[in-house]
Structure 1
Amino acid sequence: MNKADALNLIEKLAEPAALTLPSDACLGHHAEDGTYAHLVLSGLAMRCQYTQDGERQVCRVYRPGDLIGLEMLAVSTPSLMIETIAPSVIKRIAIKRLRIAQQNDPRMQSAVMSLLASEVMDGQQLKISFGTGSAMRRICRFLLWAANKDEVALPNREKLGSIIATTTETASRMIADLKRQGVISKNPVFGCRVQINREKLCERAGNLCEQSAA
């Protein structure tokens, strides 16, 4: 079963009302953390943890069409936090309901296995895209990956730095450089969004461009 068919099947189990969340919102809290999986309809989210000294460590970023938290079918205690990094619309899928459907419907079991395999492969690809090469290449790959119709909801500089494993100062300087070079430009209506020049970004992203671009 391909990813699109698997997502369509699992989305039928979602709660009818979607959640509309601002940037920097947490998905679930305390006892609710392992109660739901979350399907991203629009926006961006990340999975991370914070060290004792407050350092943010990002392990995964999600865009529309990604399902967050499917591993809660097998584990009882979530180990990482989920935060939005742009205004997002998300549907919740009760883990209990998903577990029952998985047990009773072979197609649902196939969908779950397909999405778990996709999560492993997607996570590996993002680790390569956002974790290798120069900081400029990494930030260009992120912008390409996160773009929807050549527009990106830009995370704040602290979270952007965490995503591509660089300092906030470096992330801020690179965004300013890309604007100055005409690679990205501010949306005249929504200040947190930028328009991308895909061709120029690909030139700076290196040979992973095609694998990273949305």
Structure 2
Amino acid sequence: MNKEDALTVLEKLAEPSALNLPADASIGHHADDQSFVYLLATGLALRCKYTEDGERQVCRVYRPGDLIGLEMLAVTDPSLVIETISPSMIKRIPISRIRIAQQTDQQTQAAVMSLLASEVMDGQQLKISFGTGSAMRRICRFLLWASHKDQVALPNREKLGNIIATTTETASRMIANLRRDGAISKNPVMPTIMQINRAKLCKGAGDAQQQTAA
């Protein structure tokens, strides 16, 4: 079962109403809320851990069509927090519904297994894309990955630095350089959305040109 078909199966179990969250909102600790798996319908989100000194360590970044917390069916990590990067719509899928469906419906069980496998592969690919190469290559790869129809919601500089494992100052400098080079530009209608020049970002991304848009 491919990812798209598997998502369709689980989305049928979601609550009828969705959560509409602003940028930089926190869904909370999974340890405090072990009742739901989240489907990101629109926007961007990340899952992270905070150290004792307040440093944010990003574990995973999500774009539309990604499930957040499917592993909650088996394990929990009380230290992980989900935060939005941009205004996002999130659908909640009760874990209890998934577990019941797994026991009574082979298609649901197949969908869960397929999505867990996809999560492992997606996580590995993102670790390579956002964690290797120069800081400029990493930021170009992220912008390409997060874009939709050549537009991208730019995270605040602190979150952007956390995602690509660089300092806030370096992230700010690279964004300024990309704007000066015409690789990204402001959207006149939506100030929080950046227009991307795909060819220039692909050149900056180097060997990660295979990164596909959301």
1:82: which partner in 2?
82
Distance in structure 2 (CA, Å) of the matches to 1:76 and 1:125 = 23
1:110: which partner in 2?
110
1:189–1:33 Cα change, 3 Å: same
- Structure 1: 5+ residue stretches without partners: none
Q: How many residues align?
A: 214
Asked whether the 8 Å contact 2:29–2:80 carries over to 1, the reply is no
Distance in structure 1 (CA, Å) of the matches to 2:213 and 2:149 = 11
Distance in structure 2 (CA, Å) of the matches to 1:57 and 1:28 = 15
* Alignment root-mean-square deviation, CA: 1.3
1:131: which partner in 2?
131
Structure 1 residue ranges, 4+ long, deviating more than 6 angstroms after superposition:
none
* Equivalent residue letter for 2:94: A
* Equivalent residue letter for 2:199: E
DSSP 3-state at the match of 2:41: strand
Percent identical across equivalent pairs? 74
Distance in structure 1 (CA, Å) of the matches to 2:78 and 2:93 = 16
Q: For residue 199 of structure 1, report the CA deviation from its aligned partner.
A: 0.5
Distance in structure 2 (CA, Å) of the matches to 1:181 and 1:150 = 16
The answer to whether the aligner puts 1:181 opposite 2:173 as a matched pair is: no
Distance in structure 2 (CA, Å) of the matches to 1:200 and 1:170 = 19
Distance in structure 2 (CA, Å) of the matches to 1:170 and 1:28 = 29
TM-score when scaled to structure 1? Answer: 0.96
1:122-170 Cα distance to aligned partner (Å, 9 max, x none): 0000000000000000000000000000000110000000000000000
* Equivalent residue letter for 1:110: A
Q: For residue 32 of structure 1, report the CA deviation from its aligned partner.
A: 4.6
Q: For residue 26 of structure 1, report the CA deviation from its aligned partner.
A: 1.3
1:43-67 Cα distance to aligned partner (Å, 9 max, x none): 0000000000111100100000000
DSSP 3-state at the match of 1:89: strand
Q: For residue 79 of structure 1, report the CA deviation from its aligned partner.
A: 3.5
TM-score when scaled to structure 2? Answer: 0.96
Q: For residue 76 of structure 1, report the CA deviation from its aligned partner.
A: 4.4
Distance in structure 2 (CA, Å) of the matches to 1:191 and 1:113 = 40
Q: For residue 29 of structure 1, report the CA deviation from its aligned partner.
A: 4.8
Distance in structure 1 (CA, Å) of the matches to 2:212 and 2:168 = 22
DSSP 3-state at the match of 1:115: helix
Asked whether the 8 Å contact 1:43–1:64 carries over to 2, the reply is yes
* Equivalent residue letter for 2:63: R
Q: For residue 212 of structure 1, report the CA deviation from its aligned partner.
A: 4.9
Asked whether the 8 Å contact 2:3–2:115 carries over to 1, the reply is yes
1:187-212 Cα distance to aligned partner (Å, 9 max, x none): 11222110000011000101112135
1:49: which partner in 2?
49
DSSP 3-state at the match of 1:40: strand
Distance in structure 2 (CA, Å) of the matches to 1:164 and 1:92 = 28
Asked whether the 8 Å contact 1:141–1:212 carries over to 2, the reply is no
Distance in structure 1 (CA, Å) of the matches to 2:116 and 2:170 = 34
1:169: which partner in 2?
169
* Equivalent residue letter for 2:3: K
